[in-house]
Amino acid sequence: MDNPVFALFWISLVGVLAPLLAGLIPRKLVPEVVLLLVGGMLIGPFGLELAHSDEAIDLLHELGLGMLFLLAGFEIDARDITGRVGRSAAVTWVASLITAFCLLELLDVTNLLNSQLAVAIALTSTALGTLLPILKDNGLMKSRVGVHVLRHGAYGELGPVLAIALLLGSRGPVQSAIVLACFAAIAILFAIPSMRVRSGTSKLIHVVRAGAETTAQTSVRLTMLLLVALIAVAAAFDLDIVLAAFAAGFILRFALPEGDEHLESRLEGIAFGLLVPIFFVTSGMAVNPHAITANLGAFAAIVLTILICRGLPVFFSSRRFGPDLLDARDSLAVSFFSATGLPIIVAVTSVAVAADEMTAENASLLVGAGAATVLLYPLAAILLLRNRPADHPGPA
């Protein structure tokens, strides 16, 4: 049963059952993402051994990760990473990283988790891509809480991704910075045609827009080409796919600053209908539950440490800094959301394992802790926000 078609069948079955089960749970308190991960663990090589990863499944996994972060980048307004509020979110992420290093040094986890640097980066991440469907399903995208989550989530993904590129892997920081600058220059070149899209003066642009409503689906095809092209550039520079997907999302937002409902619905159909579920199920397949059960104390400590390192700085930032301060309850909800991590943790551990800086068992422990945050922290935030009056985003 090594044929990838059989693996894809079981992965697809989990992808269908997860939202059905999530809908049956009262008040939808368990996110679908968690059920996808658990389903992956069940059918994977550490469970019933019904599905195994190979090159074909790994490619779908990477495309799912890419679509997840493309949509995350597309959701972020430029004001979320620039200006006063952007600087506040950036400083908050740096504070999270410093807190992580200090706490890891204090706890002396070197013997448990080989790469202290990789662990510190993982502890500062925010799974904005994972949070998007949760925020959408609970009507929080346009709320003040949702705006703060997007703001901090932008740096909770961008900061760790840049840290991975600069600090992890075989290259030194200087060489990595040069490589990043080259990638950024190429990404800017990709963004130049989007200026014509915004002006709408080119005849070719009119052809693209006309084809968007036909079987040609030119706007969707162009978006997928942008994503795959930047992924190819990232692969050539030996950079993580997350950086390429995030850049693609930013470029798409630059081309469509006010958004495009039709394009977004089509992209979400491709992403959440096929590729993103495959990403989460295959991520669950890579988790070894025995590594977690053998180290339950360390597992619980990591889950709590993520909340301290990422959630605590975000809580104080939402309460004390910026033009749109929140009350204690909303700030606590934002901190729980911001402490939700998984895709970045998967990316960090993958790089660390490939560089022989972390064992597969310890990577499973970290990924499992990240999965636990997806279950626990959004649930805690949603319960905090129950029966709160609807609100609107404050000034940016």
In a domain, 322, yes or no: yes
Q: Over the stretch 34-58, which tens digit does the pLDDT of each residue have?
A: 889 889 999 999 899 999 988 899 9
Q: Measuring CA to CA, which residue among 102, 133, 73, 97 is closest to residue 314?
A: 97
Contact assessment for residue 306 and residue 123, using Cβ atoms and an 8 Å cutoff: yes
Check residue 69 and give its pLDDT: 82
Answer yes or no: is pLDDT of 274 > 80.
Answer: yes
Q: Would you place residue 342 in the very low, low, confident or very high pLDDT band (cuts 50, 70, 90)?
A: confident
In a domain, 56, yes or no: no
In a domain, 396, yes or no: no
Q: What is the mean pLDDT of the chain?
A: 82
User: What is the rounded average pLDDT of the residues 171-183?
Assistant: 83
Q: Over the stretch 220-256, which tens digit does the pLDDT of each residue have?
A: 888 899 999 999 998 898 887 888 888 898 888 887 7
Check residue 109 and give its pLDDT: 54
Helices 343-354 and 241-255: crossing angle in degrees, nearest 10, is 140
Contacts of the segment 327-334: beta carbons below 8 A, 24+ positions apart: 329/384, 329/385, 329/388, 330/144, 330/145, 330/148, 330/385, 330/388, 332/381, 332/384, 333/145, 333/381, 333/382, 333/384, 333/385, 334/145, 334/148, 334/149, 334/152, 334/381
Q: Over the stretch 109-147, which tens digit does the pLDDT of each residue have?
A: 545 445 778 888 889 989 887 787 788 777 888 788 888
In a domain, 46, yes or no: no
Check residue 40 and give its pLDDT: 93
In a domain, 147, yes or no: yes
Q: Would you place residue 290 in the very low, low, confident or very high pLDDT band (cuts 50, 70, 90)?
A: confident
In a domain, 117, yes or no: yes
CATH number for the domain that contains residue 338: 1.20.1530.20
User: What is the rounded average pLDDT of the residues 8-23?
Assistant: 93
Answer yes or no: is pLDDT of 63 > 60.
Answer: yes
Domain count of the chain? 1
The parent domain of residue 327 ranges over 62-277+291-385
Helices 116-123 and 144-167: crossing angle in degrees, nearest 10, is 160
Spatial distance between the Cα atoms of 100 and 109, rounded to a whole number of angstroms: 12
In a domain, 32, yes or no: no
Answer yes or no: is pLDDT of 396 > 50.
Answer: no
Answer yes or no: is pLDDT of 393 > 50.
Answer: no
Check residue 13 and give its pLDDT: 96
In a domain, 50, yes or no: no
Weakest mean pLDDT among 12-16, 75-79, 278-282, 303-307 = 75-79
Contact assessment for residue 249 and residue 38, using Cβ atoms and an 8 Å cutoff: no
